[in-house]
Copies of this chain bind each other. A is one copy, B any other.
Amino acid sequence: MIFTLRRLPGSDDVRVALPLVRRTRDPHEGQWALPGGWLDVSESLVAAASRTLSETTGLAPSYLEQLYAFGAVDRSPTRVVSIVYWALLRADDVSTELDSADQRENVQWFDAATLPRLAFDHNEIVDYALWRLRNKVGYSRIAHGLLADEFTLAELREVYEAILGRRLDPANFRRQVENSGTLIPTDRFRTGSHRPARLYRYNQDVELADRGPLGDRD
């Protein structure tokens, strides 16, 4: 499951988007489904997730984490246990790649809020992943995975707003994120419209204890 942000063409809104693949074989042929693949005998779970991701989008994720193992007996005609991972892609990486994606005609990007009916139990999986994403944005720095190295506070706030689905007070957001100690101000500014905004970087030193003793392994 791959998430990124896209600016809606007609409006100023930023939305969560994800790529789906059209099924070309019989269980649910023609329907859209999450990209997936089989685990190789000598391949770790993350490695398999990473490989599948790259086969679908041609990109390396900026964040990758196990979501859940789905194993109900009736979720597929044949018995399948899916160990689902979710990933974040930076918007600028995606945009440089969109043209080639057009050529993979069986891959298409969708707005996460308005998905069609998907194959298998994939709608439930997406719902759960979106719930995790919304939760996690509050207590970890995954927003970083959706931004370039340097960004303004307004851009960071846009990410939070897209994920949480509601507006945040710019003044309070600034203070909260500044006090968290995870941001380093640079001496560069983003100009172009109105008053220039200071650019920030994420502080790599702060441990987030995001995943507890699991850390970055597995």
Contacts and interface: CB of A to CB of B under 8 A. Distances in A.
Contact of A81 (B45, B132, B135, B212): B45
B39 A132 contact: no
Contacts of A127: 212-213
Contacts of A68: 66, 214
Given A79-B42, A81-B45, A71 B132 contact: no
Interface string A122-164: 0010011001100100000000000000000000000000000
Contacts of A131: 212-213
Nearest to A209: B131
A203 to B, nearest CB: 23
A39 B128 contact: no
Size bin of chain A's contact surface: 20 to 34
A41 to B, nearest CB: 6
Contacts of A217: 72
Nearest to A218: B72
A214 B45 contact: no
A24 interface: no
Contact of A212 (B70, B72, B135): B135
Contacts of A124: 213-214
A71 B42 contact: no
A45 B69 CA distance: 9
A216 interface: no
Contacts of A42: 73, 79
B73 A43 contact: yes
- In the complex, which of the residues A42, A43, A213 has the most CB atoms of chain B within 10 Å of its own CB atom? A213
Contacts of A132: 212
Closest 4 CB pairs of A and B: A131-B212, A45-B71, A127-B213, A69-B69
Given A39-B71, A41-B79, A44-B73, 18 more contacts: A42-B73, A43-B73, A44-B71, A44-B72, A45-B69, A45-B71, A45-B81, A66-B68, A71-B83, A71-B218, A81-B83, A124-B213, A127-B212, A127-B213, A128-B212, A128-B213, A128-B214, A131-B212
